[in-house]
Structure 1
Amino acid sequence: MCSEAVRGRLVHSPGQTPVCPARHTLTEARALVNGKTVGASQVELYLVEIHPGGEGLEDRHPGCEHGFFILDGEGEAYVEGERFTLRPEDSLFIPPGARHSVRPAGAQSLKMIVFMAPQR
Structure 2
Amino acid sequence: MAKAYVKNVYDCPAAQPARHLNAHAWCMANPVMMDSDSFNFFSICEIRFGGAAILDNHKNADHCYFILSGKGYSIINGKRYEYKPGDVMWIPGNSDHEMYPIGIETLRFLVTLTPKDFNQTEPFIRNIKEVSPVVPPKHNNSVAYPIVTPKNGGSNTIEFNVTEIRPGGYSEQDVNEDADRICFMISGSGYALCDGERLDFGPNDALYIPKGAKHEIYVEGEETLRMAVTYGPVRMAMRG
Q: CA deviation at 1:86?
A: 1.1
Q: Secondary structure in 2 aligned to 1:36?
A: helix
Q: Which moved more, 1:30-39 or 1:94-103?
A: 30-39
Higher relative contact order (CA 8 A, sep 6+): 1
Question: CA, structure 1 residues 32+57, in 2 after alignment: closer, same or farther (shift >3 Å)?
Answer: same
Question: Aligned with 1:10: secondary structure?
Answer: strand
Question: 2:189 maps to what in 1?
Answer: 74
How far 1:117 moved relative to its partner?
1.0
The structure 1 residue matched to 2:137, chosen from 9, 14, 22, is 22
The whole-number CA distance in structure 2 between the counterparts of 1:53 and 1:74 is 12
The CA deviation at 1:63 is 2.5
| 1:34 matched residue in structure 2 | 149
Give, in angstroms, the shift of residue 37 of structure 1: 2.2
Indicate the structure with greater strand content.
2
| TM-score (normalised: structure 2) | 0.47
Superposed CA deviations along residues 46-93 of structure 1, whole A, max 9, x for unmatched, are 101000111111100112111210000111111101111111000011
The CA deviation at 1:43 is 1.2
Percent identity over paired residues: 31
- What are the equivalent positions in structure 2 for 1:1-120 lying under 5 Å apart? 7-120=122-235
How many aligned positions are there? Answer: 118
Q: Distance in 2 between matches of 1:71 and 1:64?
A: 22
Q: Which runs of 5+ in 2 are unaligned?
A: 1-76, 79-119, 236-240
Q: What are the superposed Cα offsets for residues 7-34 of structure 1, whole Å, 9 maximum, x if unpaired?
A: 3111110111111111001111001111
Larger radius of gyration: 2
Q: Which amino acid aligns with 2:186?
A: L
Change (3 A) 1:6 1:19: closer
Give me the TM-score of the superposition, normalised by structure 1: 0.91
Q: Deviations over 1:92-115 (max 9, x none)?
A: 111111001112101111000111
Runs of 4+ in 1 over 2 A off after TM superposition: none
For 2:144, the aligned partner's letter is: A
Maintained 8 Å contact 1:31/1:37: no
CA-atom RMSD in angstroms:
1.5
- Contact kept? 1:11, 1:37, Cα under 8 Å: no
Q: Counterparts of 1:80 and 1:56 in 2: how far apart (Å)?
A: 14
